[in-house]
Structures are given as structure tokens and as C-alpha cells.
Structure 1
Amino acid sequence: MRQLYTDIFTSYQPSILPNSDFSAPLQITLSPYLMTITQFQEVEETLDVALGLICTWVDDGFSWTPSSYGNAEYIIVPHTDVWTPKFVLVNSVETYEPLAGDNDIFATIYSNGTMSIVYGDVLSSKCTANIYKFPFDSQTCDLQFAVWGITSNDITIIANPISLAFYTENSNWELDSYSTKSTVMNGYSMLILTMTIKRVPLYYVIMVALPTDMFFVLNPLVFLLPVESGERLGLAMTILLSYAIFLTMVQMSIPASSNPMSVLLIIMIVTIVISGITAAVTIYIAALYHREPHVKMNSFWKFIGTRLPWSRRHTPVRPLTKNGAKGDIISSSIEESITWQEVCHALDTLMMVILYANIFIINCAFLIAVA
């Protein structure tokens, strides 16, 4: 083996591109191996993956007859002893360093001149996040590789499909689809890995979406309590403050982005606004309930108290008729009387109907948006 090493490296120059025919570019075949999805950070818009990259090319400067060297079909040498392509992740969010870096990795030289080297690292790439459908969102990210400083006139990349032979699943993200392609961008031959990852939504549904819906359902129940109990405003304020504390607790779990904003985050904002409106309406209804009977009631409040389907005074008023002495019909009608307390009872039911209708509409809108 030592003799083989001495013979093949006698006149070899590792700094020279190993291409015997400069009329055609050197072909480098890349075979990516995805190990795992480390994390996806929505705020920083970065995707971290553990990736292996097998590079194969032909170096005409290396060839030997195996039988002359103890049937040695290949030899393994440090990558610094031979020419190797210095691949960089073009859309990296960190420094632009070759994948090998200062690591002690090895290259394999086969007797027919084929060279092979395996790069591996945890890579961070820029990936624009779209959290509109959070927590049912999917993200599509690219990893772009090129040999830094060598154009497509000298190197051509041939892309093999991504292999999942060593893939380990991530508990928060599922690999939905993936593809590879080779292309030329700005004069450089590039390998582009495209991956679509889908969020596992169970945690966020249980910890964020369901509690938000629960607060939604609790708000209208404030109007079931009798005004005389004095607990209405206390319950309304408790719901409002509890949800404010809940938002503080879960804000770190919700991706912060304005373009576009998450539908779930919009619903959470609407929920706290509705809680505030509920507290304000509760105060106003309490003020109406304790109005003096002599305070004049306008037609709007009379309509609320008498004409709504659930109003306590929603009964037809029939005119009384009686025959006069000369056969003419004399009619008189009963004028209804209504109290402020009865108006408030009708208003309570109206508010419950409005709030529950809003809950239904908002939930349907959310399901349509994330579908």
C-alpha cells in the first residue's frame, strides 16, 4: 500500500483541477443524504439540517493495475493530499466556508481513477417562512451548493436524488416532499435541494387553539348570570385577565411574523378584543338594569324588550271590541308597559346570540383558511 501511494503521488499536484480535457467541464456527481431536520426557526427564517454529501468524479491522474499492488482496488487518503471540490452552501446564514472545513475527512481513490469524498455537517440555510396557516403550515426551503470560485465552464454538477437511508424523523416537522436538480446560476453550476416540511400541529392545537376556543365559549356565559348577583363584571374581568395572562405564557410558542400574519394569532387578538367588549357591555347592561322606572324609554329599547323572538313581552296584543248601542264598533287597544329589567333580560339573550354566532363564523373562517 505504501508503494502504491508513492507511485501514484510521485508527480501529482493537488492544487490543479484534475481535468485532462479542458474543452469540456469536469463532471462531479453529488448524492445527498438527509440525516435529520434539526430545526426550523420562523422568526430568523432559517432551516437547520444534518446533511451528508457524497461527491464523485474522475481524476485521470490516478489509475493502476490492482494485481500489481496486492489486488488493492482502492486507497484511502486525507482529503488534503488530493484535489477536492470546495463546496459551499450558497444561501447559508453563517460563514461561507467549504463543507470540509478543517475536519480530518478522507478521500477514496479507486484503481480506475474514480474519486469519492463524503462531506457532512449541520447546515443552516435561509428559508422564507409563511406562517399564515400556523399550526397547519408547510414550509418549502432550498439548499443551494456550488464550488466557490470555479465557474460552469470548468465544473458541471450532476444531481442524484436525495437518499433517506439514514434519515431520523423530527418530532415537530415531517418531511412532506423533496427533490434535487442541477442548474447554472450566475455562471456557476449549482446543486439545489428542495424540501417541503410540514409542521406537526398536535401540541399547538392542544396548548393554544383549544384554550383560545374555550375562552371564546366562556365569554357569552357572562350574560347568564343575574345582574342582581353582582358577579357579572367580576367574571367578565376574570376571563379578560386570564386570557391576557394566557397570551403572555404562549407568546414564545407562536411565530412572530407580520408578512403574512398567522390566522391563529389574528383569532387570538380578536378573542381578547371580544373579551374587552363583553366587559364593557356588561357594565352598560348593569347601568340599564338599575335605571329608575320613570326614565323615558325610546323606541329602540321598546323594540328590544318586546319584539325580539325571546323577549318576555313578545306576545300579540289584540284590540278589544264591543258593540255600541247603535251597532257601531268601538275599539280600544291595550298599551304595553315594559320595564328596564325586561329590556336587559332581552339584551342578555341578544348578546349571547351575537357572540355565539361570531364564534361559529370565526371558527369556520379559521378552518377554511388553513384547509
Structure 2
Amino acid sequence: MNEILKLILILLVSLIASIHSESYENATKLRGDLLTNYERSVRPLKNLTGVLNINTTVALYALLDVDSVRGVVTLVLALTCSWFDEKLKWNPTDYDGIQKIDFFQNEVWKPPMTLSTPVEFTVLIDSKMFVTVSSDGLALTFNGEVLESNCEFNMQFWPFDKQICDVCFVPMGYHPDEVQSNIPDPGITLFKTGNSEWIIEKTSYFITNRYSLSEPCFRFYLRRKSTFYMLTIIVPIAGMIITSSLVFLLPNESGERISYSITIMLALAVFQTVVADEMPKTSEPTAVICVFLLMGMIVSMLSMVIVILNMRLHQKSDTSRLGSWYTLFVKIMARQGCKGHCRNNRVEDDVNEDTTMAANNAFETEKMGKSRKFIDSKADKNGLVFVEPIDNNVDNENNFETVTWKDVSHAVDNMCFIVIAVFTTVGSICCLIYMADSSTYVEP
């Protein structure tokens, strides 16, 4: 029992002594001894022919901004470096159990880690921050900074684009034979996975030796949230391009056909300016949305030109002779469903109510795809009665003999509406599917 009490007493005394030993005087003495004959500009190796290994990791606290026009990504990032300083070792028992001590970064050697993908030259050294050194010589430093890193953007599939941004550091001034960088797991710690416009889908890291420097690089895979751009830009553009074909359904007499085409074209020009503001001033690779807008502008201008020329056809005098090609074209379009425009529906009844009882003139007309013969065989109060419809095929042959320039104009309108409506609708759908489906990460 006495031996147990003695042992407990010894342990308590040792504990109290160890707590008491980590005093200001001991720490001051240790700092003075370690910094004596210490040169902070020389690599802390006993054999300077060796290589000093530095372990580097980063922690991302926020993704502030991704500027695709300037090619800049802004991050709130902390860089952690650790290495073994062979000149800062001590035996804890010689200093009453002190296991670690802090030095200001400008007091001891520290790797001059510099951002190697900078917008502005940035060295991550802060004289107000500490280097924490353990008794075995392990040194650890932690530097946080708001960094602007250069990034090459591939805007081919905007706004469904996916970007890869590398943030690299380098121990400036040291060859890989002198200082070699390493990245231990996990390499990258994410406290935020994106912002309101971008999502960090994954990360990776690697070491590269370029420009005779050892660079630890941290790669971020960014995906743009495209919903906002879809609702405010892409869908309205596609809608205007598709509706540009409706100009051929407007009557020539309305006088609004040319103004409608110009309005569509100007609206597309405005959207082209909006899209250009989101793009870097480069043509490689060309953005699909820019090609899509250009095709929409071309279709709109082509529609306007066709409308102007077609109005000249519509206003041509019926005394001008039509060629056989025009008659054939009207006949083909009549068989495709424009019979209401391509038959003899322009006969006017000049007989008024005072002379209808004496009218014996027979004439033919057609309405909604059926022809009826009007005969003044039995006089009623209107003077006209209907009889059974006559054969359409016979009527068609007679009607095509009286084709006019207005018939040609109507046929051109119908053909252009069908062709342009199909082209713009199918083209818009295919373009949107292609942009959304083909977007992928392109390794630099």
C-alpha cells in the first residue's frame, strides 16, 4: 500500500513539474537557442545536396466569382505547407517538456509558395502568421488568401458548359532538385461546393515539373447552372426564330409583312449583343449559340427578302403572261393543300337584287375544297339555287387555265412557310439537344 501511494505521489509531482516547466522563460530560452546561428535564407538541411520535400494541401472556403469573359476564377482559399526543418530540432527533456513552438514566418525558412496561374503576382507569405515547429523538426504553416487565378474557358456549349480550372503553386526560385512538392491525401478540402451560378462537381490534384519548377496543382471541375439562361435567353431566341416563318401567313394587303420581319431580326440582334457580353473575345472554339443566332438572323433576312420579292409578284398585272413553269408550280402546290388559293375563286357576282330574276348566266366557284354550280333555274327571293357539286377534277383543269400572279404569290407563301417552319423548328430542337448533350469536360 505504501508503494502504491509513493508511485501516485511521484506521478503527481512529475505532472505538476511538467506543467510548470512550460513557462515563458523556457520558451524564450528555446527560441533563442534555436535561432542562434540560424539563417532563414538557406534551406534547413544539414546536407544541402539533398532535396527538401514539402507537403501541400488546400482548403476551399468559397467560390466567389467565375468570370468567363476575363478568364478569371476568384477563390477564398487556404494553403497548408509542411516540411522537416533539420535546424529546428530539440530534445523536449532539455527544455522541461516543450513539444512545439511558434515562429513568425519571417523568422525562419519558409518555402516562398507563389501562385503560378495568377492574374496578379501573389506570394503567400504573411509575416503576421506563424510557423508551428514540433520537437522533431516538423514545420507547419497555414496561409489564407482571396486569390484570382487565371483559367482558360471553353465556351463552345454555353450555357451548358463545363469548365476545368487549375490553381497551381510553385516554390519560387527553387529547382526540383532542391525543393520537391508533394500532395498528401485528401489534397483538397471543400467547405463550399459552388455558388449561385456554378457547382464544383469534383476535384483532383497532381504534381507537374515545368519551367524547372515543382508545381502542386489543384484542379476544380465546374458546371454552370443553366436554368436562368434557358428561361431568359435560349427559349426566347428559339421562339423568335421559329415564329419568323409566320410572316408568310400574313395577308399581302395587311402591309405588316416587312415590319414583322424587321422586328424579328432586330430582336435577334439584341439577343446577339446579350450573348456576346457573356463570351470571351475568342473564336476558338466557336460557341454553338453564336452559330445558332447567326442562322436565325440569316433566316430572318432571307424571309424579309422573299416577302419583298413576293409582294412584287402579288402586285403584278394579270395581263402579264405567266410561263409554263409558274402554272406547273401552282398546280404542284395545289395538290399539296393550297387549293383555296390556287383555283378560280376570284369571280365576282355583279348581279344585284334588282336583276337577279332575269339573270341566266352560269358561273363556277369553289369554297372549302368543293365546287358548286349556281344556276338561275328556279327563282326564289335571292334568284339563285344550289345544285349538286360538280366533279372537282374537271373543275381543276379549267381553273388552272386561269392562273394569275396572285395564285403564284399564294403558292410561294405556302411553300416558304412550310419549308422555313420545318427548318427552324427542327433546327432549334436539334441545336438545344446538341448543346445540352455534348457538353463535357475537356482536359487541358
Normalising by structure 2, we get a TM-score of 0.74
Indicate which of 216, 228, 241 corresponds to 1:191: 216
Report the RMSD for the aligned CA atoms in angstroms: 2.5
CA distance in 1, matches of 2:146, 2:187: 16
Q: Which amino acid aligns with 2:272?
A: L
> 5+ unaligned residues in a row in structure 2: which ranges?
1-26, 344-368, 370-390, 438-444
Q: Which moved more, 1:257-266 or 1:305-314?
A: 305-314
Indicate which of 29, 49, 53 corresponds to 2:79: 53
Structure 1 368/251 Cα, relative in aligned 2: closer, same or farther at 3 Å? closer
Deviation of 1:103 (Å) = 5.1
**Contact residue 131 and residue 257 of structure 1 kept, 8 A:** no
Q: Which moved more, 1:360-369 or 1:125-134?
A: 360-369
Match of 1:306 in 2: 331
CA distance in 2, matches of 1:153, 1:38: 36
Match of 1:357 in 2: 422
SS of 1:180 mapped into structure 2: strand
CA distance in 1, matches of 2:402, 2:92: 112
Residue pairs, 1:163-202, within 5 angstroms: 163-167=188-192, 169-202=194-227
**Contact residue 54 and residue 181 of structure 2 kept, 8 A:** yes
SS of 1:61 mapped into structure 2: coil
CA distance in 1, matches of 2:73, 2:224: 13
Match of 2:286 in 1: 261
**Contact residue 38 and residue 170 of structure 1 kept, 8 A:** yes
Matched, 1:143 2:208: no
**1:228-261 deviations in Å (ceiling 9; x for gaps):** 2222222222222233334345542344421111
Deviation of 1:23 (Å) = 4.4
**1:36-62 deviations in Å (ceiling 9; x for gaps):** 333333333333333211000011222
Matched, 1:39 2:104: no
**Contact residue 304 and residue 311 of structure 1 kept, 8 A:** no
Structure 1 114/293 Cα, relative in aligned 2: closer, same or farther at 3 Å? same
Residue pairs, 1:326-365, within 5 angstroms: 334=398, 336-363=401-428, 364-365=430-431
How many corresponding residue pairs?
Answer: 357
CA distance in 1, matches of 2:281, 2:323: 48
User: What's the % identity of the aligned pairs?
Assistant: 25
Deviation of 1:33 (Å) = 1.4
Matched, 1:109 2:133: yes
Matched, 1:277 2:302: yes
SS of 1:204 mapped into structure 2: helix
SS of 1:63 mapped into structure 2: coil
Deviation of 1:191 (Å) = 0.9
In terms of fraction of residues, the more helix-rich structure is: 2
**Contact residue 42 and residue 256 of structure 1 kept, 8 A:** no
Residue pairs, 1:308-323, within 5 angstroms: 308=333, 309-312=336-339, 313=342
Match of 1:290 in 2: 315
> 5+ unaligned residues in a row in structure 1: which ranges?
321-332
Indicate which of 429, 434, 443 corresponds to 1:368: 434
Which has the larger Rg? 2
CA distance in 2, matches of 1:180, 1:238: 51
CA distance in 2, matches of 1:292, 1:224: 22
Indicate which of 80, 85, 88 corresponds to 2:111: 85
CA distance in 2, matches of 1:165, 1:246: 37
